[in-house]
Amino acid sequence: MKINKRVGIYGFGLWTVVYDLVFIGGFLIYLPVCFLRKKITIFSLLKKIGFFLPSCNKSVWIHAVSLGEINLIEPIVNKMSENLKHSIIISTTTLTGNRVAHKKYGAVAKIIYFPLDISIIIKNFLRKINPKIFIAAEGELWPNLIWHIRQKKIPFLIINGRISDRAFRRYRLIKPITKKMLSGCSRIGVQNEKYRKRFIALGAEPQRILITGSLKFNSINPEERKIRWFEQRYIPVLKPNSRKLFIAASTHKPEEEYILDFYKDLCLEKSSTLLIAPRHPERVALIEKMALVKGFNPVRISEVNNFVDEKNNLFILDTVGQLLYFYNICDICFVGGSLSGSGGHNILEPLYFSKPVLFGPSMENFSDIAKKVIDNSAGIQVNSFQDLKEKVIILLKNEKERNKYSQAAKAVFEKADSLSRNLKMISKEFSFFDEG
């Protein structure tokens, strides 16, 4: 379809001017909150504006919002780095995602912050990066970016596409704009039929949507060397005298408080250890204070060299990108965001190591995965904090029960071949990419 540059794909010539003004106004209002909550720094803000931007002759631009998406794209990046002569650009939105991206992909890709969605900034990014394809993990939509990418006839792909319940409700309120944005997508790879229907309901063209499955089944790739190092380093610390390790992972408020309350009795028995890994690292200090009030001795994982083994010790994961390796040495785990109404988080990582996993009823972000886990009796979905307490106690005290779930976990990963389907979809739009 030929694009009228004066009128624009959104139907009127002043659209981008109005959008830019609204975006700038909203961003300036929200900016102090971002600094207060440590979601942005002066340096990252400068990078989002376009300072310190690398120059590329030709590139593949992959956008991964935060930590989850950064881990998700690993098999795609690995495959591309083997076969691609173009530069690989990986953009992130969050500080945590950016730090992990540098660690994971710094040797094969250039890591940047995702630009503010303002016309002049987007134009500068596209001019400097010169992408030949744009790939968005899971489907974050920004009007100016899509508009300018489409003007340049750059393929715009979504991989591992999904639309949460909350996002679906919001996008429906602006369906005319959403429809125009989705019309700028060359292809959309979605995780399942439910998400395909949601994209269509928001105006995406059905023929451009493919069900490619979830890349999360293919994105777990721990390093054997790190596995062995973590075992040697942390088993003596977290599991002395054959104690059982219980991890409360990716937790949100108020999950930590309830878990601390019911863990008091277990702590007194000195038969298990609790490690809390909050979803947002900036909440570590808050959890420390909460633990002290409740009578625990909080110990940060980064400071385990300076602790004394006491019955009321509580460990807090304050590092980024290491949770996967702690799953390997745990005995059971609870994955948070699922009892706080936040939509849940990835339960596949502990299952990869055949660990019994518990999660709450709020699993909207991983509904397909949760269903598969439940269908294979590989995990336990709890309905309340009281239910969680009862199940945790049973699993910690019953090795036979733990083994039952460990054996069932293996079936969850069978026939999960989303990677090849996504690579095939990308290769249809990007002739520079040799699938190999």
CA–CA gap between residue 84 and residue 71 (Å, rounded): 20
Q: Which region among 175-189, 360-374, 420-434 has the lowest average model confidence (pLDDT)?
A: 420-434
Domains of the chain: 15-218+417-429 (3.40.50.11720), 224-413 (3.40.50.2000)
Which DSSP string do the residues of 235-286 spell out, in sequence order? Answer: HHHHSGGGPEEEEEEEE-TTHHHHHHHHHHHHHHHTSEEEEEEESSGGGHHH
List pLDDT tens digits, range 243-268: 999 999 999 999 999 999 999 878 76
Task: Choose between 411 and 122: higher pLDDT.
Answer: 122
DSSP 304-369: GGG----TTEEEE--SSS-HHHHHHH-SEEEESSTTTTS-----HHHHHTT--EEE-S--GGGHHH
Tokens 């992909």 sit at which residue? 105
The string of pLDDT tens digits covering residues 288-335 is 999 999 999 999 999 988 777 777 889 999 998 899 999 999 999 999
The rounded distance, in Å, linking the Cα atoms of 423 and 436 is 10
Report the chain's C-alpha Rg in angstroms.
Answer: 23
Band (pLDDT 50/70/90 cuts) for residue 337 is very high
Q: How many C-beta neighbours within 10 Å does residue 206 have?
A: 10
Q: pLDDT tens digit string along 130-171?
A: 999 999 998 788 999 999 998 899 999 999 999 888 889 999
Looking at residue 127, its amino acid is R
**3-class DSSP assignment, residue 59:** strand
Per-residue confidence (pLDDT) for residue 356, from 0 to 100: 95
CA dihedral 196, 84, 78, 62 (to 10 degrees): -50
Distance CA 126, CA 131 (A): 7
Which amino acid, residue 335? V
Which stretch of 7-16, 214-223, 264-273, 309-318 has the lowest confidence by average pLDDT? Answer: 7-16
Split at pLDDT 50, 70, 90, the class of 9 is very low
Task: Tell me the pLDDT of the chain averaged across its residues.
Answer: 89
Q: How far apart are CA 62 and CA 135, in angstroms?
A: 5
Specify the pLDDT at position 433: 53
How does strand 110-113 pair with strand 87-92?
Answer: parallel
Output the CA–CA distances (angstroms, integers) from residue 19 to 98, 113, 123, 150, in the order listed: 27, 21, 15, 17
* Residue range 26-41: mean pLDDT, rounded: 92
Helix (H), strand (E) at residue 88: strand 87-92
Assessment of whether the complete model's pTM goes beyond 0.85: no
89-105 pLDDT, tens digit each: 999 999 989 999 999 99
The whole-number average pLDDT for the span 81-87 is: 83
